[in-house]
Amino acid sequence: MSTKKPKKIKFEEGSGNVFADLGLKDADQLLVRSQIGFHVFKILEDKKLKQREIAPLLGIAQPDVSHLMNGHFSRFTTDKLLDFLRRLDRKVKIVVSRHHRGEPYQQVIFAP
């Protein structure tokens, strides 16, 4: 039986925005796009549609559907992703409020 002490693992707590943690430019925008894109993805996944059925529904070409379903959300503008939600019969509310230190400037919250 070995009496070696387990190695301590070094870690750093994330900020809640992986894009900011990676030092990427426009990290807040990238996070918002990924959150909206993931929500679009989940709606489509729940509908169990084929990519050829999704394309006309969203008004995009089938290769773009493939990008969307593979999580390449940065290929789409925020406006385009919001348009997808409209086409999927979802209501989007935008709330403008005072920013408090330590919280993100842009935040996406999904209602059940």
Measure the CA–CA gap between 62 and 52, rounded to whole angstroms: 6
Per-residue confidence at 13, pLDDT binned at 50, 70, 90? confident
Q: Under 8 Å CB-to-CB from 22, ≥6 apart: which residues?
A: none
pLDDT digit string, tens, across residues 51-72: 999 999 999 999 999 999 999 9
- Residue 36 burial by CB count (10 A; 0-12/13-18/19+): exposed, middle or buried? buried
Domains, the chain, in order of start with CATH, read: 25-112 (1.10.260.40)
Per-residue confidence at 1, pLDDT binned at 50, 70, 90? low
For 17-63, give the secondary structure using H, E and C: CHHHHCCCCCHHHHHHHHHHHHHHHHHHHHHCCCHHHHHHHHCCCHH
What's this model's pTM, rounded to 2 decimal places? 0.79
How many angstroms separate the Cα of 60 from the Cα of each of 46, 54, 83? 19, 8, 11
